[in-house]
Amino acid sequence: MAIGDGIVRWEPTPYGVVIITQTCDLVQASRPTFHVAPIIVLDDKKAKPARNGRQPNLVHVPELGPASFADLTVVSTLDKTVLKDASAQPGVLEVAHVRKFGQRVGRRFSRFAFPDDVVHWIRPLRKLVEDKDGKLDSPAGWALEHVASLRLECEEEWRATPYALTLCVIMKPGVVPLFEPDELPQMPPSVQTWLYDDSGIVKVSATQIAERLKSENNTLDSITRYWLWGGLVDAWAAMCRAPKDATPSVLDAVQDGRIRGDLCTSDDFSYERFRNSEELDLDHLSPTLPLYAG
């Protein structure tokens, strides 16, 4: 791998490499090069969240086993002549896996660059995901396993601060009861009193709500389950706050000083909202500006 001034660094690939160039480009004689990424093998604890797409630099290679990944932090360009003597085996076969592999490779290079000031607001949620992702014995980990995607929606498409932001939590199919938009049942008074204060702000922690959902999941009626998941989404959104001693630009970056939450399902999250929102790759949100004043 060339790193400038004629210097080449060799990257060890004990498990081989994955070709990430599309086949249609690979077979064209007019294109003399192709791209590869090294294969790495993770332990079980790290492999599961990586398979779920939590780390955009790691893309699962299913035909090599549950712990094998293409590491996109190191992508190299090779001449096609090396293919003549190379042995190969399929890394992705099923159509669904091929589609997912392509999407996740593409995501690595097309991730939205959130404004630095906004990144600081999302750090508490990032920490939650890092600490609890895949830990099914914890209420938070159990709840996160039911989430298909976390997306951040900006009302004015990031034109100017303060940004009006909504955390869209898209649940996996079958988790949240479905109701017609004009037939959404009212929240039971007992649930509303437990979840929210008089001004409609969630007053219990995300951990408390997740604990109740996990422990009572099999006995909850559909209406209560729906509103408890909604409360959990509001609690996750409420976690997204900048430290009080952050710089003024950080503190003023979000409209009304809060990010709103929106419980969604893959059935009701429209393509238009998908286009106007950005996926939160929480493990790759690293601020580049000083967080604290002075």
Q: Which amino acid is at 224?
A: T
Phi-psi label, residue 5: left if phi above 0, alpha if psi -120 to 50, beta otherwise? left
Burial class (CB in 10 A: 0-12, 13-18, 19+), 214: middle
- Tokens found for residue 60: 């699962």
The domains located in the chain, with CATH, are: 2-110 (2.30.30), 116-284 (no CATH)
Q: How many Å apart are CA 45 and CA 104, to the nearest integer?
A: 20
Residue 230 CA from chain centroid, whole number: 19
Helix (H) or strand (E) holding 141: helix 139-144
Taking only the tens place, the pLDDT of each residue in 188-206 is 999 999 999 999 999 999 9
Q: How many Å apart are CA 170 and CA 6, to the nearest integer?
A: 47
Taking only the tens place, the pLDDT of each residue in 210-266 is 999 999 988 999 999 999 999 999 999 999 999 989 999 999 999 999 999 999 998
Q: How many Å apart are CA 234 and CA 280, to the nearest integer?
A: 16
207 φ/ψ angles, rounded to the nearest 5 degrees: -65, -45
The three-state secondary structure class of 44 is: helix
Q: Which residues sit opposite 167 in a β-bridge?
A: 152, 261
Q: Specify the pLDDT at position 4.
A: 57
Tell if the pTM clears 0.85, that is, is over it.
no
Taking only the tens place, the pLDDT of each residue in 42-81 is 998 888 878 877 778 899 999 999 999 999 988 999 999 8
Q: How many Å apart are CA 18 and CA 92, to the nearest integer?
A: 10
